[in-house]
Amino acid sequence: MAPSICAVCQTNRALILRPKNHQKLCKPCFISVFEAEIHHTITTNSLFHRGERIAVGASGGKDSTVLASVLKTLNERYDYGVELILLSIDEGIKGYRDDSLETVKRNAKQYGMPLTILGYDELYGWTMDQVVEQVGKKGNCTYCGVFRRQALDRGAAKLGVRHVVTGHNADDVAETVLMNLLRGDLPRLSRTTSIVTSTPSIVPSSPETTSHTNIKRSKPLKYAYEKEIVLYAHHKNLDYFSTECLYSPEAFRGSARALIKNLERVRPSAILDVVRSGEDMAKLVPGGNDNCGNGCGGQATLVEEEEGGCGSSNGRTTGGEMASMEQQLVQSEAAAEGGLEVEITTAASKSPNPPDSDVIPLVTGKKGKKLKGPPHGTRKQPARQTMGQCARCGYLSSQDICKACVLLEGLNKNRPKNSIEVTYDIPEEASLNGNTVVNGVQQLSLGPD
């Protein structure tokens, strides 16, 4: 078979089959196409502005390494005029972080970027290893996730930086879209699909002061395929570290990830298509970002502290995550019955008749919806979050005291505690009784941890 010719330059031999669209490219063309796409993402979304100091959230993994490398290249090539620094968070997990932090240190030298490493112990007084010792392997991802979410913001504030870029790629975003559909978390679905997120402070602070509540986050690799990131790292001989965290296989994310990989195999564009669907669906989330009243203009989406481990949420037990969700759903369904029956009788002009009546059962128009059977009949509005500041640390939170502080308090009291919160996303209509029952059950099931 004759060697294929690169589809872009039409001269070199094609050596790379592009994962995104199966285009045949030569190595230099692949690298320039990949960089051009990131540049395109940055410019069309106006992610950066001249003179900005930007911290790259660096883990030593392939995504953040490629991100740092590409941003450095592009910043020089297109003269963005931004100052790039590396910011690493040390969770304090021996055997995982030690090695990857070494990688970050080498990267800092290779790219000539200043590096700051902040440890959980400095920020919170606990390393993850200590947390695990305390709470066991189950549920520790909650701690890690809650701490990490704030850690980058706190770190950025410490460095006087107001913009953090992270290495989330298209696969990650697509995965999160599917995961949040499986988990039924629409508010988070709409949040995670937007390319820029911010945690604006409640009182707009003066431009000079940087508090950790108004850090902008963005994902320049949002449309880049994981496979292409690996290819890019490989062909540019980038120095990165690959290992999974020792503590956390997450059931939902794992399930969604497997699905995404299969989808990609069937139709390469599927990852991008899921991202697109996620963006479109975000506009359809009731009470979503479109009518966000508190001044989060443009594409920036309000982000509250995430709960979960490794960029996701749900601090339930790791292995049985899906099982416990299942159990919880069964419970809430049972608990919801009461409240919903009330709604039916008040909303229905005619009571829902048994099949043997003469009432026309096919109702059209708005009323039809109200008359439907219990579990789907009501369109539950996702609970609106009202943002305030944590009374202890000042971080943006919908609670009086933010999740990190709550968790810390538990740790410091030397008493394991899990983070199931009553108020976070309980549907408004659900009866109070139902909630307490559900919550009681969760706590029971988590008790033995």
Residue placing its CB nearer to other proteins in the complex, 109 or 267: 267
Q: Could you tell me which stretch among 64-72, 135-143, 254-262, 308-316 binds other proteins (CB under 8 A)? A: 254-262
Q: Which two tokens stand for residue 358?
A: 């003469």
Pick out residues in 181-200 that bind other proteins (CB under 8 A): 181-186, 195
- Minimum Å distance from CB 336 to other proteins? 11
Decide if residue 279 touches other proteins (CB under 8 A).
yes
Choice from 276, 311, 401, 421 touching other proteins (CB under 8 A): 276
Residue placing its CB nearer to other proteins in the complex, 31 or 272: 272
Decide if residue 292 touches other proteins (CB under 8 A).
no
Q: Could you tell me which stretch among 74-82, 118-126, 204-212, 372-380 binds other proteins (CB under 8 A)? A: 372-380
Choice from 234, 376, 384, 415 touching other proteins (CB under 8 A): 376
* Separation in Å, CA 116 to CA 88, 122, 154, 253, 312: 6, 13, 12, 30, 24
β-strands 196-198, 163-165 pairing? unpaired
| Crossing angle of helices 128-135 and 403-412, rounded to 10° | 60
- Minimum Å distance from CB 11 to other proteins? 17
Q: Which two tokens stand for residue 338?
A: 């009461």
Q: Which two tokens stand for residue 94?
A: 């021996």
Q: Cα angle vertex 395, ends 390, 396, to 5°? A: 85
Pick out residues in 299-318 that bind other proteins (CB under 8 A): none
Pick out residues in 110-169 that bind other proteins (CB under 8 A): none
Give the integer Cα–Cα distance in Å for 77 and 72: 9
Decide if residue 429 touches other proteins (CB under 8 A).
no
Decide if residue 280 touches other proteins (CB under 8 A).
yes
Q: Could you tell me which stretch among 91-99, 146-154, 270-278, 339-347 binds other proteins (CB under 8 A)? A: 270-278
Residue placing its CB nearer to other proteins in the complex, 98 or 290: 290
| Window 341-360: contact mask with other proteins (x via CB under 8 A) | --------------xxxxxx
Give the integer Cα–Cα distance in Å for 309 and 145: 4
Choice from 98, 326, 400, 409 touching other proteins (CB under 8 A): 326
Q: Which two tokens stand for residue 25?
A: 């490219």
Indicate the DSSP class of residue 430: S
Give the integer Cα–Cα distance in Å for 65 and 57: 9
Asked if 405 and 390 touch (Cβ cutoff 8 Å), the reply is: yes
Q: Where are the beta strands (DSSP E) in 142-238?
A: 163-165, 196-198, 216-218
Please give, one letter per residue, the 3-state secondary structure of 218-239.
ECCCCCCCHHHHHHHHHHCCCC
Q: Which two tokens stand for residue 382?
A: 């996702």
- Minimum Å distance from CB 326 to other proteins? 4
Asked if 84 and 56 touch (Cβ cutoff 8 Å), the reply is: yes
Choice from 136, 160, 249, 286 touching other proteins (CB under 8 A): 286
Decide if residue 278 touches other proteins (CB under 8 A).
yes
Decide if residue 262 touches other proteins (CB under 8 A).
yes
| Window 6-45: contact mask with other proteins (x via CB under 8 A) | --x------------------------x--xx-xxx--xx
CB atoms closer than 10 angstroms to residue 360: 9
Question: Quick one: CA dihedral 42, 48, 50, 56, positive or negative?
Answer: negative
| Amino acid making up residue 139 | G
Q: How many residues bind other proteins (CB under 8 A)?
A: 70
Choice from 28, 298, 319, 375 touching other proteins (CB under 8 A): 375
- Minimum Å distance from CB 253 to other proteins? 14
Burial of 155 (0-12, 13-18, 19+ CB in 10 A): buried
Q: Residues interacting with other proteins, by CB under 8 A?
A: 8, 33, 36-37, 39-41, 44-45, 170, 177-178, 181-186, 195, 222-223, 255, 259, 262-263, 265-267, 269-270, 272-281, 283-286, 322-323, 325-326, 329-330, 333, 355-362, 364-365, 368-369, 372-373, 375-376, 379-380, 382
